[in-house]
Structure 1
Amino acid sequence: MCDWELNQVSIVGIIRRFVQSMTSIQYLVDDMTGPPLNVKLWVNMENCGLINFASPGTYVKVLGSLRNYNGQRSLLAMNIRCVKDLNEITSHMLEVVQAHMQLFGKVFDVNMNTTAALPLDGRSHHEGIIPDGLSTIQSEVLNVIQKFSAHEYGISFQDLRTKLNYLSFLDIRTTLAFLINEGFIFPTIDEQHFKSPQQ
């Protein structure tokens, strides 16, 4: 991918067919990014009875090593499991989009069309845009703290709770601990006032 060798990968797709032998199971998994991928899972004779075989039409998540032999891609699976919660498919798609944004330094819209370029460090320095890798709650808390970082002591915990009254006390406290540990914010005059060094 862009002259980079990929080795350990995670894919989510639909099983199109499978063939079982004495020592392995061969799956044809379609992750909708190209032709279906050949996936091989070696099985141990003693554990063969413990393996649940996924049937065609089932969504699975596969972790394994990518192989390329004579121009044919295949995946040597370490783990295959059925996807029981369909939110996992959406989550995987979002991870793929985020990986593309980080690898290519571009921002994509919902149809994967390029909308703007990011600086090479992967972070935007425009006001209101949050660094990569933060959850929605972490982004919201950081955004409010950044807005008040111009004040001498930053923002108090009580004012932060007032501004983010739709978040629970525990969510705000947990997020503050994370943001401090990651260096996004720091306490000022006491443990109840916070600023961001990015202002």
Structure 2
Amino acid sequence: MALSSLGGDTIFVPNRISSAGNIVHVSCSQINRLTTKENGLIMFHQRIHSIITIGIVQNIQEFFRRNIYTIDDYTGTSIDVHLYKNDIEDDVGFPIPNVSVNNYIEVIGLARMNENKSFIVAFRVRMIKNPNEITKHFLNVIRESMLLEKRMNITTKTIKQPDEQKLDSIEFPDYDPNDLSQREQIVFEIIKKYGNGMFGISREDIHNHLNHMNPIDIDNSISFLLAELLIFNTIDNHTFKSYD
């Protein structure tokens, strides 16, 4: 068990960071404060695989293989968004947006850190045309943060401990792929093989590749792989990539 301190009490939490599973709305401040190099974005002891954020474009750098958008949502410091454009097939579905400085954009992607600076690797960038979307986004940021906190509290218990109690670190478990069942291994291999594009592979395509398997078994295997942090969602809850 790992320990963390909160308000003078000591909270026991499982010695692992669980998966939040879904795409989570976050602010630029949360990304900058809570992203780690080893584990990505961690909120309330839960690793966030994919994020949605909205910000105003302050600067645009265009390169051959990527664009870098510097955005700010006025919750803290600005953050860079890296949108790669070397996957022609993916660009057909989600083309590089025609945005300018002072436009608001929505970003779906992964929070990462390099050289102590947080940034976003974007799967998709979309220009915001309706200002109501900005308000809705920040309401979702608050609501989903509260849900993550509630989920953490449900799975922890508060007890008193001596002040000299040393705090253990929270680490990801090492998962042995040999522990996968044959069905889970087959689904995992399909995701690794065909999910190497920018957005990964859709649930429908996984089913199409495995049309000889029971669809319920496929979906159960996907759920298991998500829970064990072997795969993660990208642009929605039905599109997946492998960490490998």
TM, length-normalised to structure 2: 0.40
TM, length-normalised to structure 1: 0.48
Whose radius of gyration is greater, 1 or 2? Answer: 1
